[in-house]
Amino acid sequence: MSLTAKDKKMVKAFWAKVSGKAEDIGCDALSRMLVVYPQTKTYFSHWKDLSPGSAPVRKHGGTIMGGISLAVASIDDISAGLLSLSELHAFQLRIDPANFKILSHNILVVLAVLFPNDFNPEAHVAMDKFLAAVGRALSEKYR
Partner 1 sequence: MVDWTDTEKSTISAVWGKVDINEVGPLALGRVLIVYPWTQRYFGSFGDVSTPAAIMGNPKVAAHGKVVCGALDKAVKNMGNILATYKSLSETHANKLFVDPENFRVLADVLTIVVAAKFGASFTPEIQATWQKFMKVVVAAMGSRYF
Q: Which of 79, 108, 132, 135 binds partner 1 (CB under 8 A)?
A: 108
31 binds partner 1 (CB under 8 A): yes
Amino acid at 8: K
Closest CA to 93 of 29, 139, 38, 28: 139
Taking contact as CB under 8 A, which single stretch among the options 3-11, 13-21, 74-82, 114-122 is the one that binds partner 1?
A: 114-122
CB 84 to partner 1: min, Å: 31
| DSSP conformation letters of 95-137 | --THHHHHHHHHHHHHHHHH-TTTS-HHHHHHHHHHHHHHHHH
Q: What is the torsional sign of CA 31, 38, 88, 128?
A: negative
Q: Which helix (H) or strand (E) holds 42?
A: none
Amino acid at 77: D
CB 109 to partner 1: min, Å: 5
What is the longest distance spanned by two Cα atoms in the chain? 43
Q: CA 124 to CA 10: how far, in whole Å?
A: 10
13 binds partner 1 (CB under 8 A): no
83 binds partner 1 (CB under 8 A): no
CB 35 to partner 1: min, Å: 4
87 binds partner 1 (CB under 8 A): no
109 binds partner 1 (CB under 8 A): yes
55 binds partner 1 (CB under 8 A): no
- Per CB under 8 A, residues contacting partner 1 are 31-32, 34-36, 52, 105, 108-109, 112-114, 116, 119, 121-122, 124-125, 128
